[in-house]
């Protein structure tokens, strides 16, 4: 009975505290628990201080079907955990592009263990967390605020780092477009880079003409108090953001793109194409070269894509390199239909590329998460695409 009474009292006390925060009490009073969230739009609409620039308004795309698909009914309408489906790509909404500068903000981040995932959030001067892609408030942020010593202080900073900044595909499609936008607007001052970062981040900056060592850095966890913080809200698949990446970074050869490239994942730990060896004879006969992207530097990958007229690959991060391909390049993705990831289709049509969809099948152990499972593909499906391209 005592335990039941204690549990009831505890739940009631927690409810009162949470209600107090909702009614405007500072979450710091309760150890930074129950921090409320608001979008950038809500913040400024309700009188939040600072400056808001709307670079792009909402828009709706009108995109083509994959080249080898004749009806939307052959595209998955399952959004799964992506938030939109393959079929949605045909008329996908593009969200706004916003650049906001706000006063007296806190950047709070932590890295969880043992998964070693980076989690950032931004708390504004009203003690609310901004609701931005991959930057939601989590209990770990409250713990960081409760336990951190003296926070780091900056007069001015620009934050662009999302949770998965060290993933090659996320870097190209989510982060690099932000940097290109800032560079176009001459607003790179105050940029905060991750202290520990993959080599492709520095290589990207150098191609854009910036020395990565000239920027301030942030660590894998902590609290940074910033007097004036600039942040961006972007759509990962908006053409107006993706195409400048190609324009500003890609290698332009002295003749029309001519190479046919098949991205091999034979050396990868996950998502290998189990029967790749079966495809090699027909691919080579069709003029393809097999390339392992991990053997190339970032600059070499950019150059290769500028020379590529046909890019074929099993689903994987290397396929994101299509961002550096010239308009009209043929892109062929081999993927399992029950993992209906629409992202590469969305990138291809945003970039003005011709996208081909080839269904594969899972291979290997069924105990492996479907995101990481190996694939196999019927050689007849590949042969059909090669013949269609030849025709």
Range of lowest pLDDT (145-159, 260-274, 314-328, 348-362):
260-274
181 CB-near residues (< 8 Å, 6+ apart):
55, 97, 99, 232, 234, 241, 244
Predicted confidence at residue 31, as pLDDT, reads: 86
Q: Is the pLDDT of residue 356 over 50?
A: yes
Q: Is the pLDDT of residue 15 over 70?
A: no
CA gap 182, 288 in Å, rounded: 37
pTM of the full structure:
0.94
Nearest Cα neighbor of 363 from 269, 279, 273, 264 is 273
Q: Is the pLDDT of residue 20 over 70?
A: no
Angle between helices 176-184 and 199-207 (to 10 degrees): 30
Contact 68, 357 (CB under 8 A): yes
In the numeric block, which tokens belong to residue 367?
A: 């105990």
Predicted confidence at residue 251, as pLDDT, reads: 85
Burial readout 342-358 (b: 16 or more C-beta within 10 A, e: otherwise): bbbbbbbbbbebbbbbb
Mean pLDDT of all residues in the chain?
94
Predicted confidence at residue 238, as pLDDT, reads: 97
Confidence of residue 90 (pLDDT cuts 50, 70, 90): very high
Burial readout 150-180 (b: 16 or more C-beta within 10 A, e: otherwise): ebeebeebbbbbbbebbbbbbbbbbbbbbbb
Confidence of residue 389 (pLDDT cuts 50, 70, 90): very high
Contact 377, 334 (CB under 8 A): yes
Q: Is the pLDDT of residue 346 over 50?
A: yes
Q: Is the pLDDT of residue 14 over 70?
A: no
User: What would the pLDDT profile of 54-65 be if each residue is shown by its tens digit?
Assistant: 999 999 999 999
Predicted confidence at residue 178, as pLDDT, reads: 98
Q: Which domains does the chain have, with CATH numbers?
A: 25-54+95-243 (no CATH), 254-390 (3.40.50.360)
How far, CA to CA in Å, does 11 sit from each of 6, 15, 33, 238? 9, 6, 14, 45
């Amino acid at each position: 009975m005592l335990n039941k009474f204690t549990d009831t009292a505890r739940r009631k006390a927690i409810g009162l505290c949470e209600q107090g925060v909702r009614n405007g009490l500072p979450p710091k009073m309760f150890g930074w628990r129950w921090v409320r969230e608001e979008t950038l739009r809500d913040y400024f609409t309700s009188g939040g201080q600072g400056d808001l620039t709307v670079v792009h308004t909402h828009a709706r795309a009108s995109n083509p079907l994959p080249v080898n698909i004749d009806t939307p009914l052959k595209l998955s309408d399952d959004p799964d955990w992506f938030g939109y489906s393959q079929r949605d790509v045909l008329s996908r909404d593009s969200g706004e592009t916003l650049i906001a500068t706000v006063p007296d903000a806190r950047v709070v981040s932590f890295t969880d263990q043992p998964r070693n995932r980076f989690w950032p959030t931004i708390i504004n001067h009203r003690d609310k967390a901004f609701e931005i892609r991959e930057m939601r408030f989590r209990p770990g942020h409250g713990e960081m605020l409760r336990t951190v010593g003296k926070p780091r202080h900056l007069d001015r900073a620009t934050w662009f780092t999302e949770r998965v900044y060290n993933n090659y595909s996320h870097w190209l499609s989510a982060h690099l477009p932000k940097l290109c936008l800032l560079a176009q607007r001459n607003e790179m001052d105050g940029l905060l880079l991750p202290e520990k970062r993959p080599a492709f981040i520095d290589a990207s900056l150098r191609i854009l003409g910036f020395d990565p060592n000239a920027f301030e850095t942030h660590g894998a966890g902590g609290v940074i108090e910033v007097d004036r913080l600039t942040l961006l809200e972007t759509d990962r698949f908006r053409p107006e953001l993706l195409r400048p990446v190609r324009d500003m970074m890609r290698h332009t050869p002295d003749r029309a793109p001519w190479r046919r490239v098949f991205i091999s994942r034979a050396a990868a730990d996950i998502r290998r194409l189990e029967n790749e060896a079966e495809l090699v004879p027909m691919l080579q006969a069709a003029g393809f070269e097999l390339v392992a992207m991990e053997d190339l530097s970032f600059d070499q990958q950019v150059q290769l894509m500028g020379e590529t007229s046909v890019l074929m690959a099993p689903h994987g991060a290397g396929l994101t390199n299509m961002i550096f391909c010239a308009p009209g390049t043929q892109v062929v993705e081999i993927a399992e239909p029950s993992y209906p990831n629409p992202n590469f289709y969305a990138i291809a049509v945003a970039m003005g590329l011709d996208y081909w969809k080839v269904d594969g099948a899972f291979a290997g152990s069924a105990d492996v998460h479907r995101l990481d499972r190996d694939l196999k593909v019927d050689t007849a499906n590949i042969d059909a695409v090669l013949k269609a391209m030849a025709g």
